[in-house]
A and B are shown apart, each in its own frame.
Chain A
């Protein structure tokens, strides 16, 4: 199985940029298609898709969210961070079955 590694916690100030990373144990890219996706989860809610295929914004997601990366290293950027963005963020790969999730990064206020 492909293992996805995220840092557990990231502390950020409101109005600043947050960079959340996800590293895969093997490449999750096929040709130029990067099969990595990002989710936001607030307490008591189901996960919400933010970014699909590494850099595509899901429907209704604000433009302050962006994604980048290829191969094994991927990044979710929030710029600028707003109070409503305080949540947990998960990466997920669909390159191989089974699909796997990273352990999640909890975004906290400094």
Chain B
């Protein structure tokens, strides 16, 4: 069955770089796009960026200068890197599979706290 799972550090210091991994199973990264979505505590969902099935990337313009998404298809992993983290980047980070529009499958999310 389709599964996505986020992993990474729970705590990041201000100004440092966040690195997250989304490990997928049940489908190929060459068949579906994987997106990153985050949610600050008590707030709504913010789309961050995506790795398309053909390897193309696209980013939220507000995050573009700090964000990079890559993948390793052999390991079924998609990576998120975001630099210059601030307290407002504290959020639950989700990876999700796009089924030609809607996000049908989501990881459980990983909470990232930015604090010294």
Contacts and interface: CB of A to CB of B under 8 A. Distances in A.
Contact of B47 (A48, A49, A101): A101
B61 A39 contact: no
B104 A98 contact: no
B61 A98 contact: yes
Interface residues of A, number: 22
A37 B108 contact: no
Main secondary structure of the interface of A (DSSP, over half): loop
B94 A92 contact: no
24 contacts: A1-B61, A39-B45, A46-B94, A46-B106, A47-B94, A47-B96, A47-B106, A48-B106, A49-B102, A52-B101, A52-B102, A53-B102, A92-B102, A94-B102, A97-B58, A98-B47, A99-B47, A100-B47, A101-B37, A101-B44, A101-B46, A102-B44, A104-B44, A104-B45
